[in-house]
Amino acid sequence: MKTYRLFLAVDAIALLIAGYFFFVGIGDGSVSSFNIVLWLTVLAGIIAIVGTGYRFHTNGQTGLATGVLAILAVPAILAGLFVLSILIAQPRWN
């Protein structure tokens, strides 16, 4: 149950971040008619993962819900840990 909640929170944060970049991109013009289909596909995929995981949980299939949410949560957690390690270590890039 704790893993499900952790993964759901991580997926929700990832969805918020992706949505933020989408709307900022619309505002500054970097999301254009050329690449909006790609953006909408990515956002639809994230929404589908979160929605499917939540739906499985409400049907009592918490293990399956955790597995679905892990598709996005595990890479998001690893990416977050990578960024955190870069911030802490402050490596020299030259």
Q: What is the pLDDT of residues 15-59, one digit of tens each?
A: 999 999 999 999 999 999 899 999 999 999 999 999 999 999 999
> How far, in Å, CA of 54 to CA of 45, rounded?
14
* pTM for this model (two decimals): 0.87
Half-sphere exposure of 47 (CA within 13 A, CB side): 7
Determine contact, residues 10/77, Cβ cutoff 8 Å.
Answer: yes
